[in-house]
Chains A and B, each alone.
Chain A
Amino acid sequence: MMRGWRYWRLKTKLLFLTLFVSTLGIALVCASLIFVENRNYKKQLESELHVIAGILAEQSAAALVFEDNEQLTSIVSSLERINTIQQACVYNEQGNVMTSLVAIDEQPCPSVDQHLEVGFIDDVYRLLMPVTLDSETVGRLFLSSHLEVLRGHIRTFVWVAIGIGSAILLALVFLALRLQRIVSGPILTLSATAERIAMNHDYSIRAPVSGTDELGRLGSTFNEMIGTIQQQNFRILESRDNLERVVDARTSELSMANRELEAFSYSVSHDLRQPLRAIEGFAQALEEDCAEQLDDTGKDYLRRIRAASVRMASLIDGLLILSRVSRQPMENHPIDLSQVLREITDELKDINDHPPSEIHIQQGIQVVGDSRMLRIAFQNLLGNAWKYSSREEKRVIEVSARPEGRTIAIEIRDNGVGFDMRYIDKLFVAFNRLHTPSEFGGTGIGLATVYRVIRRHHGTISATSEVGKGASFVVKLPVFADQR
């Protein structure tokens, strides 16, 4: 029972304690009173009986000497009026019963020669007194008194004690309840208020406070605390709203900038190409229509004009792709990269002569990402491997993948000219090239685009190379739990 003590309600605890202590107290008081009363009554009974026996012995001494039975019977029968006396026997010197007073259903007088127990025996008090005449024993007197009166007495006492105890207990319960209302009442109200606040998260609720005692102060301190929380909450909400407004403003600014950028690149793609087409077209027309008026130098200039415009066009295309992979929303789908790589190499084979003697693409490379962007990235990487190995006798391009922690590492390796590791810093920066246009054509935008795509996929790209021995690009893309 006590194990649950700490889970009891405060009210129950207080009531239980009060009742327990007071019941114990009352019971102790009653018990000690009964004990004392019992003892006193017994003493009183004893002395009373001794007095009676003394008187009786004195009166019956002469009758015993003269063996006057009549006299003895009359003396003894006078005891009938004393209702505590159960039995009275008078013995002569030889121990024979001379006369007796026996209550109904009582045993006959005990014989005195045998060892007779006297004093309080069970429910009976027995007394044996010698009858003396001139300090000579002439007989004996036996008195037996039942304790029925004592029992009744004590019974009454117990009932009275129970009655008074119950009355006191009732009064105590009443008092305890009243006291509780004073002490635990405010605490219970406070705890109910706290519960309500916690449940509803409504910090505008206040606990009712009465008085300025400790409980009153507890209530007002509690209210102050809730007030502080309310204020702080308000401030937090306010600053959150502010923050949201700022974020909204920034977002709309950003999306406006994005829209502007989109419009910009749209018009770039239209408007920058148009003059280029005119330059290229008219140069061609000039070459065709006015061929006779142009000498070889003139024709060479025209060829250069046209080559420059084609180069410019591929720069514009590269920039547009770079800007597109930077701003386009990302899609995330599982992609069979091996399949994509095979398609890319097929395209490369279509537009280039002399394909590499060996192209190894590992089967079943699975990644998650935006298929268009990843296609652009791997088009560039494979295109580079293709381009920079074009001078080798036996060209080998190899794509392999291996899991590496929480990423998949995809390596594109070629045995081409490679690059000088001293310039690795410039590799992924737009418009930086590690080869001259006369060595290998290119815009310098390809690897910047690859870098951007991989970064948008939360991946990394690194490159290692040795001049003349080839290059290796390692793309690491995050692997998602359900991918494996």
Chain B
Amino acid sequence: MDIHSILVVEDNPDDQVLAVRALNSASENSPVIVLEDGQQALDFLFGDDARCSSSNLNSIGVVLLDVKLPKVSGLEVLKSIRSSPLTDWLPVVMLTSSDEPADLLEAYRLGANSFITKQINYREFTEQMTLLARYWLHVNKVPKTGSVPSSG
């Protein structure tokens, strides 16, 4: 079975640490890639970022995208992901601190696969991350993409 990585786009260092901790405890074998803002995410997915090769892109199991990001917002990143044939297949889970109804609707309109409000209670947050990793990495199937064939 392929081991897929989790791409986390999260600007707040505290949240990064907490998210990585929760994800690690949930799914130890899956590598977690952390990017700090929307621009980095775009560079990673579409640019010349050293970490990104076609095989890397293929190995992503799920993208956890924070709604509120500096420079380029999470919703804008989502829009870019959905508008490129290279990445439009990627499962994207939006994360947010708030439960702003407008964000929720907009995210689904732009093609988010899931939308999660981060729980303040860390135990509940860890539970969320566990469920999420289990579902997207183990239950869910992603295609072996498109334009660049996977090396397997």
Contact = CB atoms under 8 A, between A and B. Distances in A.
B106 interface: no
Given A270-B68, A278-B15, A281-B18, A310 B97 contact: no
Interface residues of B, number: 19
B100 A285 contact: no
A387 interface: no
A310 B98 CA distance: 15
A397 B21 CA distance: 45
A274 B100 contact: no
Contacts of A275: 14
B97 A277 contact: yes
Contact of B125 (A281, A283, A310): A281
A277 B118 contact: yes
A284 to B, nearest CB: 4
B92 to A, nearest CB: 19
A276 interface: yes
Interface string A261-276: 0000010011101111
Given A269-B100, A281-B125, A309 B120 contact: yes
A274 B97 contact: yes
B151 interface: no
A320 B122 CA distance: 21
Interface string B92-105: 00001111100000
B122 A269 contact: no
Interface of B: 12, 14-15, 18, 21, 67-68, 96-100, 118-123, 125
Interface in A269-297: 269-271, 273-278, 280-285
A277 B15 CA distance: 8
A266 B18 contact: no
Nearest to A314: B120
Contacts of B96: 270
B98 A266 contact: yes
A331 to B, nearest CB: 14
B18 A282 contact: yes
Dominant SS among interface residues on chain A: helix
Interface in A369-392: none
Contacts of A161: none
A282 B120 CA distance: 11
Contacts of B119: 277
10 smallest beta-carbon distances between A and B, as pairs: A269-B98, A278-B14, A284-B122, A281-B122, A281-B18, A313-B120, A273-B97, A270-B97, A270-B98, A270-B68
B121 A269 contact: no
B26 to A, nearest CB: 14
A253 to B, nearest CB: 23
A79 to B, nearest CB: 134
Contacts of B100: 266, 269
A269 B67 CA distance: 12
Contacts of B122: 277, 280-281, 283-285, 306
B11 to A, nearest CB: 10
Most buried by A among B21, B118, B122: B122
A14 B67 CA distance: 89
Interface string A315-358: 00000100000000000000000000000000000000000000
Nearest to B96: A270
A285 B22 CA distance: 10
A375 to B, nearest CB: 13
Nearest to B12: A274
A276 B15 CA distance: 11
Contacts of B68: 270
Given A281-B14, A282-B14, A283-B122, 8 more contacts: A266-B98, A274-B14, A277-B14, A277-B122, A278-B12, A284-B123, A310-B121, A313-B120
B21 A273 contact: no
A153 to B, nearest CB: 114
Given A285-B21, A310-B120, A274 B15 contact: yes
Contacts of A320: 98
B33 to A, nearest CB: 20
Nearest to B11: A274
B98 A278 contact: no
Contacts of B98: 266, 269-270, 273, 320
Contacts of A310: 120-121
Contacts of A283: 122
A280 B120 contact: yes
